[in-house]
Amino acid sequence: MTRFALTLEFDGTPFVGLQRQATGPSVQQAVEEAVHATTGETVTLHAAGRTDAGVHALGMRAHVDVMKPIEAFRLMEAINHHLRPDPIAVLACEAVPDDWHARFSCIGREYLYRIANRRAPLTLELNRAWQLPQPLDAPAMHRAAQALVGHHDFTTFRSVHCQSASPVKTLDLLSVERVGDEVHIRAAARSFLHHQVRSMVGCLALVGMGRWREEQIAEALAARDRAELGLNAPSEGLYFVRALYPDD
């Protein structure tokens, strides 16, 4: 048996999420079926993180165990062939030690959220960014975001369906910057709660629009109450950027 680490890029628009579900097509199902078509084996895809319906990935790490002798490059090429026309691509594939695990060996995860801050309808970026026509004050959003960096109880920014044992997380980075007519929010942590990034982005957008004071981000955090959440940003602007491992 060989354990192969995969780096996946995907457009989450047509999927119910990364994880296999009975309610519709998933990224996991598509990749597992592509591996089966290549090797004849039934495998389980393990990923560094889960993504909701509509969330995208630029560099999701995952792994599968394959019994058939096959080179990593040939496996990658074959999986990509069988994935067509699904909007999923294997960007890299390598053999890793048997004790390497895409999820449990991961020590950090990074996300990007894209806000298209323009009035004209989205065409090329439809379903790939959250469109807000109101002018956004990115510097104010960045200042407000710093109240969330560090070790906190993120109950306010946690989905009621979150299965994490604790609402306490350490947020290593939360930055906001304007890039042309877009506002980019970057978040990094060892792990995140369900909807944490989208919830933080939604409240920061309220600051950017002038509907919230900058201080209200810290006040919402301190409340530890989901009812104090101002806005949960939609899934289409969220991207899983990369997963970090001890040897990176």
Residue 165 has what pLDDT?
A: 87
| CA dihedral angle for residue 118, residue 119, residue 122, residue 127, rounded to 10 degrees | 70
Report the number of secondary-structure helices (H) and strands (E) in the chain. 5, 10
10, β-bridge pairs: 57, 88
Catalytic option among 52, 153, 181, 248:
52
Average pLDDT of the chain is 97
In CATH, the number for domain 2-96 is 3.30.70.580
Structure confidence at residue 66 (pLDDT): 98
Q: Using one digit for the tens of pLDDT, what is the confidence trace for 104-157? A: 999 999 999 999 999 999 999 999 999 999 999 999 999 999 999 999 999 999
How many CB atoms within 10 Å of residue 107?
Answer: 11
CA distance linking residue 242 with residue 110, whole number of Å: 5
Report, as an integer, the average pLDDT of 147-171.
94
What is the CATH topology of the domain spanning 108-244?
Answer: Alpha-Beta Plaits (3.30.70)
- Fold match between domain 2-96 and domain 108-244: yes
Model confidence at 102, pLDDT cuts 50, 70, 90, reads very high
What is the mean predicted confidence (pLDDT) over 205-211? 98
Q: Is 52 a catalytic residue?
A: yes
pLDDT reading at 248 higher than 90: no
List the domain boundaries for the chain.
2-96, 108-244
What are the pLDDT digits (tens) for 48-76? 999 999 999 999 999 999 999 999 999 99
Determine the pLDDT at residue 247. 85
Please say if the pLDDT value at position 163 is more than 90.
no
